[in-house]
A = this chain, B = another copy of it.
Amino acid sequence: MMQMNERKLKILAAVVESYVRTGEPVGSKMIASLPEIHVSAATVRNDMAVLEQLGYLEQPHTSAGRIPTILGYRLYIEKLMSPADLPEEERERLDHMLGVNGNGNQMSEELLIQNATTALAELTQCAAVVSDFSPQFSVISKVEVIPTGKRVYVILLITSGGSIKNKACRLEFDLTKEQLSWFSGYLSEHLEGISVSELSDELMENLTAAMTAYMMSLAPLVQGVFELYRDLRQHALLCKGEKHLFSYEDLDKMEVVRFIEHKDELMQLMDDSFSGIRVVFGKDRENFVIGNSSMIVSKYRKGRKNVGSLGVIGPMRLDYAKVIPYIAYFSQKITDLISEQSEQTREPCPDEEDQKKI
């Protein structure tokens, strides 16, 4: 009697779906009128009372219909819903939004991630968040110092992930050809081929010491290198489409503003290790505090390593069956694309080094 059965699950699913669609508490009559339910409203009522006792549903007040509890959503997501599948044409559309244009054209990981975020925000009408620490796993493939204008030098740093960083530095005087090539050579020698995660403060300090020993007034350049190093190590958190959050009645505006200003609190949550797709509900954890909201995240990988997570934040009342497949598709696609790139660029590495040492 007090236990679950097929029909109760069906009713739970129906409640979730109807509530997600309309935002109104769902009554027994409404449920009974559904084609897939073949019992009367009274029976539905009995079942709903049980579902409430079990903690899957709740009533905002006595004479209203039921709405799902967090527990209810969770059960629905894990066991009951049938995720929409993406027809071929839909996938093409998604690829297009990612900027993946058929011809295996070069595209930096950074841009890919950005496009994914924008696309996800657009598609789901939610805030899309990405926590990306893939740069940490890429290798510095090139460092150059380029004179440009008087006394101005641009340091250029390229990683195997295809991200290109640069920084202009102004010196007090112009470098001679020898000085420039020494500096440039020194940097190449000590940085190229090193993976970003191997870059340590220690290593950088040695570098700094060596270079300022060579010539004190290189300091601004050294400083530039240091800043680039910090940029590289930075763990990027990207967020787009926050504005959508303001259109949901059931999210508290104040909490949304707070969230926007303290996004970084999320990082820990996103970086937790987990596999597959994870759904977290607002106020469930202390570092994600928008009431009535939920966050859906998935990891993406580079080769076998998790290098980031992407997902969306929206109202708890969200069409999970639609949103989850998007996230799944994007995380898979990104994994494919950056893994493939890393294959292509990691292979040549030894070659390059050989060439250099000739």
Which A positions have Cβ atoms within 8 angstroms of B? 104-106, 108, 141-142, 144, 146, 148-150, 152, 154, 156, 158, 160, 162, 164, 166, 168-170, 220, 242-243, 246-247, 253, 256-257, 260-261, 344-345, 347-348, 351-352
A164 closest partner in B (C-beta): B166
Whole-angstrom distance between the alpha carbons of A197 and B182 in the complex? 37
> 5 new A-B pairs (CB below 8 Å) besides A243-B261, A246-B257?
A149-B158, A154-B158, A156-B166, A162-B168, A247-B257
Closest B residue, CB atoms, query A242: B243
How long is the Cα–Cα vector from A247 to B154 in the complex, in angstroms? 42
- C-alpha gap A170/B168 in the complex (Å): 26
* Cβ–Cβ contact B149 & A141, under 8 A: yes
Question: Which chain B residue lies CB-closest to A146?
Answer: B144
A contact patch SS: mixed
Give 6 closest A-B pairs by Cβ, nearest first.
A106-B170, A150-B348, A142-B148, A164-B166, A148-B158, A149-B345
Contact partner of A253 (CB less than 8 A), chosen from B148, B156, B247, is: B247
Which single member of B164, B246, B247 contacts A168 (CB below 8 Å)? B164
Give A259's nearest chain B residue, CB to CB.
B243
Q: Which residue of chain B lies nearest to A142 when distances are taken between CB atoms in the complex?
A: B148
Which of B141, B166, B260 makes the CB contact (< 8 A) with A243?
Answer: B260
Q: Across the interface, which residues of B come within 8 angstroms of A160, CB to CB?
A: 149
When all copies of this chain in the complex are counted, the total is 2
Residues of B within 8 A of A168 (CB): 106, 108, 158, 162, 164
Cβ of A323 to closest chain B Cβ, rounded Å: 20
| A147: nearest chain-B partner, CB-CB | B142
Q: Within the assembled complex, what's the spacing in Å between the Cα atoms of A242 and B348? A: 45
Is B146's CB under 8 angstroms from A156's CB? yes
CB contacts (< 8 Å) of A150 on chain B: these are: 344-345, 347-348, 351-352
Name the residue among A243, A257, A260, A344 with the largest chain B CB count within 10 angstroms.
Answer: A243
Contacts of A105 in B (CB 8 A): 170, 220
CA distance A156 to B166 in the complex (A): 10
Nearest B-chain residue to A346, judged by Cβ:
B149
How many whole Å from A342's CB to the nearest CB in chain B?
A: 11
CA distance A170 to B104 in the complex (A): 9
Q: How far is the CB of A238 from chain B (nearest CB, A)?
A: 15
Residues of B within 8 A of A261 (CB): 243
Q: Which residues of B contact A158 (CB under 8 A)?
A: 146, 148-149, 154, 168
B247–A149 contact, CB under 8 A?
Answer: no
Given the complex of chains A and B, what is the CA–CA distance between A157 and B317 in angstroms?
A: 48
**Between-chain CB contacts (< 8 Å), 9 pairs:** A104-B170, A105-B220, A148-B158, A150-B344, A154-B156, A154-B158, A166-B166, A243-B243, A247-B253
Report the separation of the CA atoms of residues A75 and B141 in the bound assembly, to the nearest whole angstrom. 61
Separation of A300 and B231 alpha carbons in the complex (Å): 30
B154 touches A146 (CB 8 A): no
What CA separation (Å) do A148 and B345 show in the bound complex? 10
Q: Collect the chain B residues with CB atoms within 8 Å of residue A352's CB.
A: 149-150
How far is B166's CA from A158's CA once the two chains are assembled, in angstroms?
11
Cα-based distance from A345 to B242 in the complex (angstroms): 40
Q: Given A106-B169, A106-B170, A246-B246, A348–B149 Cβ distance below 8 Å?
A: yes
**Chain B hits for A345, CB < 8 A:** 149-150, 152
